[in-house]
Structure 1
Amino acid sequence: MAGHSKWANIQHRKGKQDKLRSKMFSKLAKEITVAAKMGLPDPDMNPRLRLAIKAAKAVSMPKDVIDRAIKKSQMGDAGDYTEIRYEGYGVNGIAIIVEALTDNLNRTASNVRSYFTKSGGNLGTTGSVAHSFDRVGEISYPAAVGSADDVMMAALEAGADDVESDEDGHWIYCQVEALSEVSDALEKALGESTESKLIWKPQSRTEVDLETAQKLMRLIDLLEEDDDVQTVTHNFDVPEEVAAQLE
């Protein structure tokens, strides 16, 4: 399977997530509300809600904000959101998957299409790039939790399929339907994870040069700034020497 993206770690070190913290809280709250509305408002009985709360805690979302999002799901003004996936290509044929939660499909589709067009890409049809990714569960741990061999052993015993480790941490992958079970088993063996979530994992990654990286990051920034967009996944990687030149 493809190695864990170095670019994801570079983004984290540059503090990109801190800049988007307020918007991230809003998007996570929306996911919590939708998860609680679709199932039960009890995370012990609702795997999707449990994962959403874990993601919120991973970025230090206050407990009262989480609780309000759950309560909102039980009220009449919670809103009706539709989950939708968009697929397309950035410059140089880089594959991009966009997942959104929206109460206005026309607005979201129009916005996403315009972002691709403005950035030199094009929006494709559903399924046009998903074949280049695997839908899997991902559970992450900090490097300090143990050696690569120790984490690999714990992961295999928990029912995971693969582990990728580097100086920044450990990423454990499993089947979609096994995420909750594997995550619980790992928590007993290694302690609480940094994050547990469903992802689109690229089957391979393409390293890009500075000009291509700049254009792709413009597209990703536009997408992530949209209130309806929940996640953006791509199959490119930026070498550290190129990343150092990005603002």
Structure 2
Amino acid sequence: MAGHSKWANIQHRKGKQDGIRSKMFSKLSKEITVAAKMGDPDPDKNPRLRLAVKAAKAVSMPKDVIDRAIRKSQMGDASDYSEIRYEGYGAGGIAIIVETMTDNLNRTASNVRSYFTKAGGNLGQTGSVSHSFDRVGEVSYPLSAGSADDVMMAAIEAGADDVETDDEAHWIYCRVEDLATVSDALEGSLGESTESKLVWRPQSRTEVDFDTATKLMKLIDLLEEDDDVQSVTHNFDVPEEVAAKL
């Protein structure tokens, strides 16, 4: 299995710190509404909703905003969102998966395609790159949660499949269908996690040079700015010397 991308984590945390909180809240609210609409509006009875609420709390989304998103799911005029995955290649042939939630398929498809084109990439068919990733559950904890050995033992007891520890955090992986159960079990032994979510985990990563990294970051920025895009996953990593220039 591929190691966790420290670069991706740095970019993720930087995004939180750099003023996109309202956009993040909007995307999380959409996920909460869809999860509640598809299942039970009670998080205790709906694993997907429980994870969505946990993700919202992790970024300090106010309780009234979370409750409002759940209530919206029960209203007759709640938007009908479709979950669509797009796959393609960025500069340097880097594989990219874009997960969207939209109420206008034509708008979203047109936008995503234009972003790939503007950044020197090309959009492929569904399945064109996902074979290079594994769909798994990911639970992250700060290093303060315990030593690598302690977290490993807690993860095994919780039913997880793999654990990685780097100088940023502990990353715990499990099967998709086990995420809610593993997340709850870990919370009992390690406390509240930083995040619990489904991810596309690359089977390998490709290091890129400065020019390629610049084009790829342009593409990721364009995608993440779009309100219909819920997540962007890639399989590249940036060497330290390149990261320093960026």
**Bin for the TM-score computed over the shorter chain:** over 0.9
RMSD: 0.9
Is 1:41 matched up with 2:41?
yes
Q: Would the aligned equivalents of 1:10 and 1:243 in 2 still touch at CA under 8 Å?
A: no
1:12 CA drift (Å):
4.3
The residue that corresponds to 1:199 in the other structure is 199
Aligned residues: 245
Match of 1:16 in 2: 15
Equivalent residue, structure 2, for 1:159: 159
Structure 1 runs not aligned, ≥5 long: none
Moved over 4 A (4+): none
1:84 counterpart = 2:84: yes
TM alignment of 1:213-224, pairs within 5 A: 213-224=213-224
Instruction: Quote how far apart the aligned CAs of 1:20 are.
Output: 1.8
| Structure 2: distance between partners of 1:10 and 1:215 | 18
> Whole-Å Cα distance in 2 between the matches of residues 121 and 83 of structure 1?
23
Could you tell me whether the CA contact under 8 Å between 2:6 and 2:168 is conserved in 1?
no
TM-score normalized by structure 1?
Answer: 0.97
| Aligned residue identity for 1:206 | T
Match of residue 208 from structure 2: 208
Query: C-alpha distance in 1, partners of 2:196/2:34?
Result: 18
Give distance in 2, aligned partners of 1:240 and 1:22.
Answer: 31
Q: Give the match for residue 123 of structure 2.
A: 123
Q: Is the 8 A contact 2:85 2:100 kept in 1?
A: yes
- AA of the residue aligned to 2:106: N
- Cα distance in 2 for residues equivalent to 1:8 and 1:128: 22
CA distance in structure 2 between the aligned counterparts of 1:196 and 1:45, rounded to whole angstroms: 17
SS at match of 2:45: coil
After TM superposition, the score normalised by the length of structure 2 is 0.97
Structure 2: give runs of 5+ residues left out of the alignment: none
Amino-acid identity (%): 82
- Whether 1:66 aligns to 2:38 is no
Q: Encode CA deviations 1:19-68: one digit per residue, 9 max, x unaligned.
A: 22111110000000000011111000000100111111111111111111
Whether the aligned pair in 2 keeps the contact of 1:137 and 1:174 (CA below 8 Å) is yes
